[in-house]
């Protein structure tokens, strides 16, 4: 492959892994939301870390040979991360997606040199995720030489975050203030790594899951939200971390969009999964105040923080999330 002379990829991922955190405002009496921001300053998302990390770890383990083609299913962001990583490391990248992929993301993927393969239609029950999986498996049968990163089931997924994200957060977060964490789950990679980090500090982790996701016992249904929840199957990555799920808060599309709009009023522009996390955090905070007092200390006047993860910026979705559902905030 012809590709520009990038810097050392390990220097790149070290920089990408230095995610910032922000105070996203009050939740309930004495409790505030502390968000790890997955897209702090550039056109990347946190999936840029995952895309590059998956290829670096696979090369380290001897799973990915020099110049070997790579394939993955994606709703968008991981595809862009893999496309850039493949160009950087010299791997052709094939991405299976659906017509709902944001046009700007598809264009960036193609400019990075990757090939996008679109499904024709969703599976009648299990949706676009299943249709993408079916097309990917068909392509693997035709091209057994492709390396499948398999983000949903590969233990390399959480290892990427454990190696390149967690060390920076361990240095920058004030764990004395964090009373709980709440995260969305797609494959479960960042939940696995961040919940293990919090568990080591004695802090419980919860999940905010969208309606229509079967990951935690829901019924499969379509959603306008991309990159969060699972309509067709439960990934092995989150299954392995299930013991660290202290509870689940379910959030509808309309509620998630209302959360996105409310965060906009605070000057924070994020995508739909972040809206799910925000609404889930509001409910978790209310439960903590009601059950144990603010901050989980039993003292009504105590303060503290709930940690979450805002995956990307809202501009990627245009006005879709700002216009959907009811106009009232949650």
User: pLDDT tens across 234-256, in order?
Assistant: 899 999 999 999 999 999 999 99
User: Any bridge partners for residue 210, and if so which?
Assistant: 251
Domain ends where: 95, 128, 148? 148
The CATH number of whichever domain residue 302 belongs to comes to 3.40.50.1100
From residue 310, give the alpha-carbon distance in Å to each of 74, 194, 323: 19, 13, 20
Domain-located, residue 4: no
CB burial of 236-273 (b: ≥16 within 10 Å; e: otherwise) equals bbbeebeebbbebbbbbbbbbbbbbbbbbeeebbbbbb
Q: What is the residue range of 182's domain?
A: 9-43+156-323
Residues 226, 82 share a domain: no
Calculate Rg over the CA atoms of the chain. Answer: 19
- Find the range with the poorest average confidence among 47-51, 68-72, 122-126, 323-327: 323-327
What is the rounded CA–CA span in Å between residue 237 and residue 146? 22
Residue 90 domain-assigned (yes or no): yes
Tell which residue, 315, 313, 245, 312, has the closest CA to residue 280.
245
In a domain, 330, yes or no: no
Mean pLDDT, range 176-180, rounded to an integer: 96
- Which of 16-30, 32-46, 54-68, 315-329 ranks highest by mean pLDDT? 54-68
Assess if residue 142 is contained within a domain.
yes
- Do 191 and 273 share a structural domain? yes
pLDDT of residue 41: 52
* 253 and 201 within one domain: yes
Query: Is 3 part of a structural domain of the chain?
Result: no
Q: What band does 29 get if pLDDT is binned at 50, 70 and 90?
A: confident
Cα atoms in the Cβ-side hemisphere of radius 13 Å centred on 28: 23
Note whether 309 and 230 are same-domain residues: yes
Mean pLDDT of 261-286: 92
What tokens appear for 94 in the block?
Answer: 């094939």
Question: Are 236 and 300 members of one domain?
Answer: yes
pLDDT in tens, 280-330: 999 999 999 988 755 555 444 458 999 999 987 666 565 555 556 544 333
Question: Do 134 and 199 share a structural domain?
Answer: no
Q: Do 187 and 119 share a structural domain?
A: no
pLDDT at 144: 97
CA distances from 293 to 298, 299, 308 (A): 4, 5, 20
Tens of pLDDT, residues 212-224: 898 899 888 878 7
With respect to residue 34, please indicate whether it lies within any of the assigned structural domains: yes
Instruction: Tally Cβ neighbours within 10 Å of residue 305.
Output: 25
HSE on the CB side for 313, CA within 13 Å?
Answer: 11
The pLDDT value recorded for residue 301 is: 43
Number of H helices, E strands in the chain: 12, 10
Instruction: Identify which of 251, 304, 258, 228 has the alpha carbon closest to the alpha carbon of residue 23.
Output: 304
The DSSP code sequence of 55-71 is HHHHHHTTSS-TT--EE
Total domains present in the chain: 2
Q: Pick from 124, 148, 172: which residue ends a domain? A: 148
* Per-residue pLDDT band at 75 (split at 50, 70, 90): confident
How many percent of the chain have pLDDT more than 70? Answer: 88
Spatial distance between the Cα atoms of 256 and 258, rounded to a whole number of angstroms: 5
Q: Is residue 329 part of a domain?
A: no
CB atoms within 10 A of CB 134: 16
pLDDT range class, residue 104, cuts 50, 70, 90: confident
Crossing angle of helices 253-265 and 272-292, rounded to 10° = 90
Q: Select from 102, 132, 148 the last residue of a domain.
A: 148
Q: Which pair of structure tokens corresponds to residue 21?
A: 């955190």
Q: What is the pLDDT of residue 315?
A: 65
Mean pLDDT of 91-116: 94
Q: How far apart are CA 54 and CA 57, in angstroms?
A: 5
> Tokens in use for 288?
């903590």
188: left (phi over 0), alpha (psi -120 to 50) or beta: left
Is residue 264 in some structural domain?
yes
Average confidence (pLDDT) over 19-46: 84
My answer on whether 125 and 22 are in the same domain is no
- 220, 132: one domain: no
Confidence check: pLDDT of 106 > 90:
yes
Kindly report the CA angle at 273 between 252 and 243, in degrees rounded to 5? 90
What is the chain's mean pLDDT, rounded? 88
Are 186 and 237 within one domain?
Answer: yes
Same domain for 208 and 81: no
What would the mean pLDDT of 14-24 be, rounded to a whole number? 93
pTM for the full model? 0.89
pLDDT at 113 exceeding the cut of 90: yes
Q: Report the pLDDT averaged over residues 84-106.
A: 94
Are 181 and 105 in contact by the 8 Å Cβ rule? The answer is: no
Beta bridge partners of 70: 93, 147
Compute the distance between CA of residue 228 and CA of residue 182 in angstroms, rounded to an integer. 14
Tell me, yes or no, whether 225 and 259 share the same domain.
yes
């Amino acid at each position: 492959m012809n590709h520009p002379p990038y810097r050392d990829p390990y220097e790149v991922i070290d920089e990408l892994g230095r995610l910032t955190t922000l105070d996203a405002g009050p939740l309930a009496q004495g409790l505030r939301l502390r968000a790890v921001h997955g897209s702090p300053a550039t056109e990347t998302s946190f999936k840029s870390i995952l895309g590059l990390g998956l290829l670096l770890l696979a090369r380290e383990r001897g799973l990915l040979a020099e110049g070997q083609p790579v394939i993955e299913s994606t709703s968008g962001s991981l595809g862009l991360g893999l496309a850039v990583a493949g160009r950087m490391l010299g791997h052709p990248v094939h991405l299976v997606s659906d017509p709902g992929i944001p046009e700007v993301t598809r264009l960036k993927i193609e400019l990075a040199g990757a090939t996008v393969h679109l499904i024709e239609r969703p599976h009648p029950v299990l949706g676009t995720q299943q249709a993408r999986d079916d097309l990917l498996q068909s392509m693997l049968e035709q091209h057994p030489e492709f390396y499948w990163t398999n983000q949903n089931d590969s233990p390399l997924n959480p290892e990427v975050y454990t190696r390149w994200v967690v060390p920076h957060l361990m240095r920058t977060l004030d764990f004395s203030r964090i009373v709980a964490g709440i995260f969305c789950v797609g494959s479960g990679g960042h939940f696995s790594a961040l919940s293990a980090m919090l568990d080591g500090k004695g802090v419980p982790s919860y999940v905010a899951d969208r309606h229509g996701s079967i990951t935690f016992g829901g019924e499969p249904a379509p959603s306008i939200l991309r990159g969060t929840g699972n309509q067709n199957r439960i990934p092995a990555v989150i299954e392995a971390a299930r013991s660290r799920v202290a509870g689940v808060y379910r959030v509808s599309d309309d509620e998630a969009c209302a959360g996105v709009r409310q965060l906009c009023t605070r000057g924070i522009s994020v995508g739909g999964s972040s809206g799910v996390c925000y609404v889930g955090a509001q409910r978790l905070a209310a439960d903590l105040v009601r059950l144990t007092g603010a901050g989980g200390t039993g003292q009504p006047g105590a303060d503290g923080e709930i940690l979450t993860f805002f995956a990307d910026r809202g501009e990627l979705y245009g006005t879709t999330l700002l216009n959907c559902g009811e106009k009232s905030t949650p």
